[in-house]
Structure formats: structure tokens, C-alpha cells
Amino acid sequence: MKFLFFLVHPAKFHFHKVQINELKKRGHQVDVLITKKDILEDLVLSEGWDYTNIYPEGRKIKYLHVYLAAVISIFRTVYRLLKFTYGKNYDLFIGDLTSILGRIKNIPSIYATDDVFSAVPEQAIFFQTTNYIVAPKITDLGRYKSKKISYNGYKALAHLHPNHFTPSKKNIHESLHSDQNFFIIRCTGFQATHDLNKKGISDELLFEIIKILEPIGKVFISSERELPKQLIKYELDINKNDINHYMYYADLFISDSTTMSTEAAILGTPSIEFDEYFYEIEQMSELEKTYKLVHCFRTSDKEDFLKKVSELSSKPGIKQEYQKRRDDLIKEKIDVSAFLIWLFENYPNSVNNYISDDSVQDNFRSIPS
């Protein structure tokens, strides 16, 4: 079969990485298109894939309102997708905006998300034009639920399920191989359209967090935004491919990114989320209330947030406790990438089989022995 994947963000790379590698390994033709976005191209290069960057200058349009810029960017991107695919035939398109391309070229498309529709309504253009939407079982797609192919898992399990990710101390700095505690704080840039007017961890709050953590262990900051000079010494300067290894071995992960808080939770690392977005993401509620792997706080709850930072960073044996909770989660969820490889490789029969009996996904509940 012939597949086209369009990756627009590092998170999309991580979600589809295992699927792309396995489809290639099985002899399928897989074309990978990307755009300039953070470390996305570096990640693709690290996999050794042939790829085409159709937006080497990046899709961001300066000096325009974020929504107007997004609309213009959509038209420009679809035009470039059309240029690349001219005269080529595919069996399935996968990724952002390939749904519009698919409508134009009469080729089926699948769009993957874990965002609740009401929280990110700008996804409507993808939902409206795609054939099917792959999303976690708990994700509410609103009026587009008839297009949903749900799976019992989370997006992060596509690359962090133990069938696909094995943490190794070889991938973290030797100075962290000892029993000394270390903590990671992740700060987002809040530049996406769905981040408009969202708040998270401020520079002032960073100083307060460090004041709590530094007497206990090493503190590292991974930040999308520029940090003040006083905090530069805390920057986590690593190979970006190794971030999940650092997250696994960290004693505590603090973030205003729901994506990375979810990843930390799935890795069994105590995770604290501080922003205004988590309450719109159903998986965060499940991870907090059912599995007790993440703790979420609104920005108005700063004092409670800092108390939780102090509590979790100083509690003996907490890492082992959260690893056990993580093991319980893995037993109940499926190997998301294995399910999607089956879905893509056997399309459209796989979709028909799923519609007839969605328990077919239980065939992908395997865990390593």
C-alpha cells in the first residue's frame, strides 16, 4: 500500500513514529512530509527517513492575528500538498490537512487527535473533511462522534507503550546515574491557536518552585520560551531524542503542557500539571482520578500547587508507588501503535471490522513478558 503522512509538530512525529517505521519495514511505500516546527526536522532526521519539508520557512505568519494567520496558512499548506502529490496515487492520507487534500483528490484520510472538540473547535475543518477520526475512547468529539474510531488508551501510548519504549540510563547524563534526586520543569510557549489567552508557569513561579526543589536535588528546566538570565543555568541541554529517558528517571515532573504531563504519567513519574487547559482534556481527569498518576491545578490555585510540589518532592518511596500505578494502567490499555498499524495496513476492511465489533482492539492489549 501507499501512505502519505504529514507531520506538523514534534508531538505528531512521536505519535506516528512507530507506525511509520513498521509500515516501511513491512514493505509499504510511506511518503513523509513535514513543516518547520521546533525540533521536528531533527527528529525525522534521527530516524533516517526520506522526507520532504514542504514548509522549510515555517507556517507561522507574523504580524497577523493568530486565527487569521491560521486560515491563510491552511490555504497555503494545502496548495503545497497538492503540488507534492500531483500525478501520484495513494491508498491513504494520514495527518493534519491531508483530509482537505483527500477530498480534493478523492483519497481517504484518517485524522488522529486526543483533544475534546469543544476545547479545540478549530479542528472542525479536519473533522468535517476527514473520513475517520482516531481518538481515545474517553475523548468527546461532539457532533463528529459518528466518524470516531476509538481506542482504549492515550496518544502517548503510541510511542511510550513498553512494547516500543525501553528507558535506559545510557541515554541520560552520567551525573544522574546516582541516587541523587532530580526534577524536571517543562514550560510551554503557548503559541498554538488553542493556547490563545492560556496561562501556565510564569518566570516568577519558576523561582518559587526552584526554591522548594533545589535543597532536595538537581533542578532542570525544559522551556519553549526564552528564560531570564538567572534561570539559564537550569536549562536541560540534552539530545531532544532522549527527553523521555530523562522523564522516566526523574523523581518529579512539573509542567504546563498536558501532552508532556501525560507522557510523564505514562512513564510512571509523579506529574504535576499547572495551567488553564487540563480541565478540558478528559484523559487528564482519568489519569488524575482513576490512576492517580498526575495532579492538576489551575493557575488560580498557586498555593495548593506549591504545597503539592513540596509534598511529592520529599515523600520517600513515591517513585515506586507511581511505577506500580503505571503498571496497572498499562495492563488495562492497548498498544495504540499496534492497533493503528493494523488499521492502516488493512484499510478499509479493518474499519469495517472495527465498526462491526470494536472489541477487535483488545487483540492489541499485549504487554512485554
The confidence score (pLDDT) of residue 369 equals 46
Strand order across the 271-274 sheet = 218-223, 182-187, 252-255, 271-274, 294-297
The confidence score (pLDDT) of residue 42 equals 94
Q: What whole-number distance in Å separates Cα of residue 368 and Cα of residue 64?
A: 49
What pLDDT digit, counting tens, does each position of 102-129 carry?
Answer: 999 999 999 999 988 776 777 888 999 9
The confidence score (pLDDT) of residue 198 equals 59
The confidence score (pLDDT) of residue 177 equals 87
Given this chain, do its domains 2-161+334-364 and 169-330 carry the same CATH topology?
A: yes
Q: Report the run of H or E that residue 149 belongs to, with start and end.
A: strand 148-151
Domain ranges for the chain: 2-161+334-364, 169-330
CATH of domain 169-330: 3.40.50.2000
CA contacts within 13 A on the Cβ side of 230: 5
The confidence score (pLDDT) of residue 192 equals 47
Question: What predicted TM-score, i.e. pTM, was given to this entire model?
Answer: 0.90
Q: Using only C-alpha atoms, what is the Rg of the chain?
A: 21
Regions of the chain short of the pLDDT cut 70: 59, 61-67, 69, 119, 189-198, 278-280, 366-369
What pLDDT digit, counting tens, does each position of 223-247 carry?
Answer: 988 999 999 999 999 988 899 999 9
The confidence score (pLDDT) of residue 193 equals 41
CATH of domain 2-161+334-364: 3.40.50.2000
The confidence score (pLDDT) of residue 367 equals 63
Closest CA to 167 of 45, 16, 269, 252: 269
Q: All 3 cell numbers of residue 154? A: 492515550
